Amino acid sequence: MKNETLKLENQICFKIYTAEREITKLYRELLKELNVTYPQYLVLLLLWEKHSLTVKELGQRLFLDSGTLTPMLKRMEMNGLVERKRSEQDERSVIVSVTEKGNALKEKAECIPNQLVDNIPMGKEELSTLNETLTSMLEQLQNQTK
């Protein structure tokens, strides 16, 4: 038992670590045409819904801090996908909003979820079980590491 626990094959954490990179790799292919990365795509998903959000709000939803978001949003701004401007109500906040160009990507992105499903064929039941497990796992983790 003791020796087994230090074995890689037995570790779910390693599989999640690996799965994350494989999923990112898959998205990289699918997103190549849009010229955005997976994290950038996540930002766009939110902005397509809400049009504009502060850096803080983006961070809360994506669980990323300004150290990650600021340079990423600058890159997106440079590519013309978003605009950044200080809030007038609170000069500490920066409001990020999606541009015309950023919005135009939405249509191109419509097919991505479908392509994803094609690449990860799983039963509906298995999918929801996985979803539930990950959800509760995340809750636990986010309580621990907060």
Stretch that binds DNA, among 62-70, 98-106, 108-116, 125-133 (CB under 7 A): 62-70
The listed partner (DNA, a second copy, none) that binds 92, CB under 5 to 8 Å by sort, is: DNA
Exactly one of 69, 81, 82, 109 binds DNA (CB under 7 A); that residue is 69
Site string for a second copy, 76-115 (x = CB under 8 A): ------------------------------x--xx--xx-
φ and ψ at residue 87, rounded to 5 degrees: -70, 145
Tokens describing residue 77? 């701004």
Between residue 1 and residue 20, which ones bind DNA under the rule CB under 7 A? 17
Partner touching 68 among DNA, a second copy, none, CB below 5 to 8 Å by kind: DNA
Residues making up the chain, counted from first to last: 146
Q: Which residues of 3-37 are buried (b: 16+ CB within 10 A; e: fewer)?
A: eeeeeeeeeeeeeeeeeeeeeeeebeebbeebebb
Q: Which is nearer to DNA, 62 or 106 (CB)?
A: 62
Instruction: Note whether 34 binds a second copy by CB under 8 A.
Output: no
Contact of 47 with 105, CB cutoff 8 Å: no
Order of all β-strands in the sheet with 52-54? 52-54, 94-98, 82-86
Per-residue mark of binding to a second copy, 41-60 (x: CB under 8 A): -x--xx-xx-----------
Please tell me whether residue 24 binds a second copy under the rule CB under 8 A.
yes
Q: Among 105, 81, 138, which Cα is nearest to 30's?
A: 105
